[in-house]
Amino acid sequence: MNFIRVSTSSINTKVCDISHNVSNIKKCINEALRDKSKLILFPELSVTSYSCFDMFLKRTTLEKSYEGIKEILNFSQDKDILIIVGCIFEHNNSLFNSAFIIHKGILLGIVPKTYLPNYQEFYEKRYFTEGFIKCTEVSFMGDKTYFGTDILFCYKDIKIGIEICEDLWAPIPKSSYLSINGANIICNLSASNETNFKHEYRKNLIKYHSSKINAAYLYANSSPSESTTDLVFSSYNAIYENGDLIKESDRFLFENTVCSGIIDIEYLNTSRVNNITFRDSFKYHNQDIKIINIPFDDISYGKFDRKINLNPFIYENQEKNKELFEEIFIMQKCSLEKRLSHVNSSKIILGISGGLDSTLALISSYNAFNLMHIDTKNIIAVTMPGFGTSNKTKNNAISLCKELNVTLKSIDITNSVRQHFKDINHDENIFDVTYENSQARERTQILMDLSNKEGAILLGTGDLSEIALGFSTYNGDHMSMYNINSSIPKTLIKHLLKHYYENYNVSESTKNILIDIINTPISPELLPTDKYDKIIQKTENIIGPYELHDFFLYQFLKNNASFKKIEFLALHAFKSTYPYDVIKNSLNIFIKRFFQNQFKRSAMPDGPKITEISLSPRGDFKMSSDSSYNSFID
Residues marked as catalytic:
44, 113, 165
Cα angle value 278/281/284 (rounded, 5°): 170
CB 249 within 8 A of CB 31: no
Q: Report the alpha-carbon distance of residue 96 to residue 310 in Å, rounded.
A: 46
3-class DSSP assignment, residue 188: strand
Beta bridge partners of 159: 154
CB count in 10 Å sphere of residue 390 = 22
Q: Report the alpha-carbon distance of residue 304 to residue 307 in Å, rounded.
A: 9
Q: Report the alpha-carbon distance of residue 154 to residue 156 in Å, rounded.
A: 6
CB 629 within 8 A of CB 591: yes
Q: Report the alpha-carbon distance of residue 311 to residue 491 in Å, rounded.
A: 8
CB 75 within 8 A of CB 28: no
CB 190 within 8 A of CB 164: yes
Q: Report the alpha-carbon distance of residue 123 to residue 121 in Å, rounded.
A: 7
Percent helix, strand and coil across the chain, each to the nearest 5 = 40, 20, 40
CB count in 10 Å sphere of residue 336 = 23
3-class DSSP assignment, residue 405: coil
Q: Report the alpha-carbon distance of residue 227 to residue 224 in Å, rounded.
A: 8
CB 176 within 8 A of CB 208: no
